[in-house]
Amino acid sequence: MNYEKEEFFAPGHGMCAGCAAPIIVKWVLKLAGPNTIVVNATGCLEVATTAYPHTSWRVPWLHVAFENAAAAASGIEAAARAKGEKLNIIAFGGDGGTVDIGFQALSGMVERGHNVLYVLYDNEAYMNTGIQRSGATPWGAWTTTSKVGNANPIGKLQPKKPVARIIAAHNAKYVATANPAIFNDFKKKVEKALSYDGARFLHVISSCTTGWRHDPSKTVEIMKLASDTGIFPLWEVVDGDLENMRITYKPKKFKPVEEYLKPQGRFRHLLKNPEYVKKLQEQVDAWWAKYGHHYNP
Amino acid sequence: MKAMIRGNESIAYAFKLARVKVIPAYPITPSTLVPEKISEFLANGEMDAEFVPVESEHSAISAAIGASAHGVRVGTATASQGLALMHEVLFIASGMRLPIVMGIGNRALSAPINIWCDHQDMMSQRDTGWMQFYAESNQEGLDLGIMAFKIAEDERILLPAMVGIDAFVLTHTVEPVDIPEQKDVDDFLGEFVPHYVTLDPEKPATLGSFGFPEYFMEFKYGQWIAMERAKKVIDEVFEEFHNKFGRKYSKVTPEFLEDADIVLVTMGSMTSTTREFVKKLRKEGKKVGLLKLTTFRPFPKEELRALLKDVPVVAVVERNISFGFGGAVYAELAATFANESKKPKIIDFIVGLGGRDITFKTLNEVVGIAEKALKEDVDEVNWIDVNKEAVLKAEGLL
């Protein structure tokens, strides 16, 4: 059954104009169809779509708290097993609820092999509380807790946590990074993730116009640049086989990282110093030098 | 069937007999034997359920919420630090009106780390919106475990419930227990019907949504009403259980109360010791009574007022402490009588923290101070069996 014409995520919610998360959710649900239960970690998506007595969710939806979406999903899946049901159980969490505070519950869920698809919409900081740094914030990004000043001209001093690789290393059934701006690849991966049984994890980049500080009309453009500059590589791993990671997307010609940084206020300070831009470019080049041979469209 | 079982097994049998469908649990001393016993039931094909061996107590209660929201009967067990780790999620289970039942092996909280009995763990969850029952024996643990499901799932209530069994004194101690027949428990509980909105793709609903100030208080008032209504439903279920199984339960159980000058209020296993002590005092001609508190949430104010209003001195003997005030039971009992014209003098006794034995010597000291209180003023809060001199020296006061 093809549900691409049906909406399971209703408009009228309070997500910001230009936020990528609703694009991700809308398409995951279209591809999953109505036989689905959603679990949502605390975060923008939960807050802005379920202001009682309204809801944007046309599938059953549960929110418990910030750090336990994966645990709540584990419980639903156990109940579904007890009832002999077959349905999609999909958890959505931001980078805070997934990479940091919710990491333990996620690790447990994946290790136990629950039949759940966990979708991380990664906007690279705690945006719901107002742009604080997370484990998923990239090196050099300004946030309200990695501020830029005379003593720290860089912003966040640590690199992004490679959460998808870590989850893949749990021997999860299927792990992929995805980008809704590279739509065909994104769609294929959602479909593929839905086709498997077991613990599945999609790490989806999700621009936040207020946190990344860009014009709301530029969301898709900027997210596309994330993969076209190589800073957010798109790959997949089945059964934890990281040796055989498959890079699914590579631009014909990589754009310089600077093009990704330029339209985003969070990186403005880096552009003042070519050394910083160079350092970030080197990080990207190093990743591709190490893993580029995995490209296999 | 009579069997010699430990308190933890009482909880496991209650879950088995209640045909619990999902048990997410994380081991912690002294309640570890609950998931172990469940695992044994499952391995032997004696139970049809899903055990979720979660990676923490936080995830145990979170998974319990997920499973309960999907419309099945759920039980779990923990103690002490594990219960404290669940704290934020306990509010969510009750706020979402999910009738989860949890066995607690009542144990002290760190620091210093201590695995033995007191009631600090459950008392610290007083305001989470869970009903609280304290068992005196393993039989009570099993019976209250079964009854907790019936009370929690009643469509007038829909609140989660905890059943406390004292660390080691009950959890690890073998006692003779009458394990009811499956058929009788099936009759008593009936088929599980979730009287609440579940996660059903046929009828999509949003559970756990965002409540703005204009709606929030109504949700809380609903929980308040449910907890108030639970008082009557608990009585009904206790009565029905008595009729079916022959064992009588009450929220508060008075013993030797007639003409008593002093009444000792107790909870959990210390009640058994206290009962023997009171019997001894009665033989000596001392007018001392006993009042066992089985239900702490909802707090049985009405029964306590009726039973204790004419008693000269009530001695609350309790295994918990709220620093800066006194014991939790003392505080609640004192508040229960705050607006009454006829009221007892209420004195607090902090005993048995971290598994310190509660003996006749302990109770003798309690009654000594209570007797003094018949004639003169005594301290409101009295710590018994403590090396006060050593502490006062360490604090630089001696």
Task: Indicate which CATH number applies to the domain containing B335.
Answer: 3.40.50.920
Of B24, B54, B212, the CB nearest to A52: B212
Residue B200 amino acid letter? D
Q: Look up the CATH number of the domain holding residue B154.
A: 3.40.50.970
| Residue where a domain stops, chosen among B227, B245, B263 | B245
Who among B55, B88, B210 is closest to A65 (CB)?
Answer: B88
Are B146 and B17 within 8 A, CB to CB? Answer: yes
Verify that B227 and B346 share a domain, yes or no.
Answer: no
| Token duo for residue B234 | 């608990």
Q: Is B363 helix (H, G, I), strand (E, B) or coil?
A: helix
Looking at the domain that runs over A21-294, which CATH code has it been given?
Answer: 3.40.50.970
Same structural domain, B142 and B97 = yes
> B66 and A72: CB-CB below 8 Å?
yes
Give how far A111 is from chain B: nearest CA, Å: 9
Tell me the ipTM for this assembly.
0.97
Contact: A105, B55; criterion CB under 8 Å: yes
Give pLDDT, residue A221.
98
Same domain, B77 and B13: yes
Range of the domain at B349: 252-394
- Same domain? B186 vs B320: no
For residue range A129-160, list pLDDT tens digits in order: 999 999 999 999 999 999 999 999 999 999 99
User: How many domains does chain B fold into?
Assistant: 2
Asked if B191 and B274 sit in the same domain, the reply is: no
Interface of A with B (CB under 8 A): 34-37, 39, 46-47, 50-53, 55, 57-65, 67-68, 70-83, 87, 104-105, 107-108, 111-112
Task: Please give, rounded to a whole number of angstroms, the shortest distance from the CA of A29 to a CA of chain B.
Answer: 13
Domain ranges of chain A: 21-294
Chain B residues with CB under 8 Å of A35 CB are: 201
How do residues B307-322 score in pLDDT, each as one tens digit?
A: 999 999 999 999 999 9
- Identify from A13, A64, A103 which residue to disrupt to test chain B contact, counting B C-beta atoms within 10 A and taking the largest count: A64
Task: Tell me, yes or no, whether B223 and B77 share the same domain.
Answer: yes
The residue among B205, B199, B12 whose CA lies nearest residue A77 is: B199
Residues of chain B with pLDDT under 70: none
Q: In whole angstroms, how large is the CA radius of gyration of chain B?
A: 21
What CA–CA distance (Å, rounded) separates A59 from A37? Answer: 6
Q: Which two tokens stand for residue B184?
A: 């009788």
- Of the three residues B211, B245, B279, the one that is the final residue of a domain is B245
B239-242: long-range contacts, CB 8 A cutoff, minimum separation 24: B240/B150, B240/B188, B241/B143, B241/B146, B241/B147, B241/B188
Q: Which of chain A's residues have a Cβ under 8 Å away from the Cβ of B22?
A: 75, 78-79, 82
Other CB atoms within a 10 A radius of the CB of residue B361 amount to 12
Between chains, do A51 and B52 touch, taking CB under 8 Å as contact? no
Domain boundary among B213, B245, B277: B245
* Other C-beta atoms lying within 10 Å of the C-beta of residue B200: 13
Residue B97: closest CA among B29, B196, B14, B168? B196
Say if residue B230 is in the same domain as residue B261.
no
Mark out chain B residues that contact chain A at CB-CB < 8 A.
Answer: 21-22, 24, 48-50, 52-56, 58-60, 62-72, 74, 88-89, 92, 198-201, 203-212, 215
Q: How far is CA A243 from CA A161, A168, A246, B334, in A?
A: 19, 11, 9, 68
Q: Terminus-to-terminus CA distance in chain A, angstroms? A: 27
For residue A1, what pLDDT is reported? 63
Cβ-based contacts of B197 with chain A (< 8 Å): none
pLDDT tens digits for range A6-59: 999 999 999 999 999 999 999 999 999 999 999 999 999 999 999 999 999 999
Task: Inspect the interface and report whether the beta carbons of B64 and A75 lie closer than 8 Å.
Answer: yes
- Select from A45, A76, A107 the residue whose CB has the most chain B CBs within 10 Å, as the one to mutate to test that interface: A76
- Taking CB atoms and an 8 Å limit, are B207 and A61 in contact across chains? yes
Q: Does residue A225 surpass a pLDDT of 80?
A: yes
Assign residue B222 a region (left: φ > 0; alpha: ψ between -120 and 50; beta: otherwise): alpha
Residues of A in contact with B205 (CB under 8 A): 60-61
**Together in a domain, B228 and B291:** no
Question: Which pLDDT does position A122 carry in this prediction?
Answer: 98
Band of the pLDDT at A4, cuts 50, 70, 90? confident
The answer on pLDDT for A248 being more than 90 is: yes
Residues B93 and B205 in one domain: yes
**What are the chain A neighbours of B50 within 8 Å (beta carbons)?**
78-79, 81-82
Q: Note whether B190 and B336 are same-domain residues.
A: no
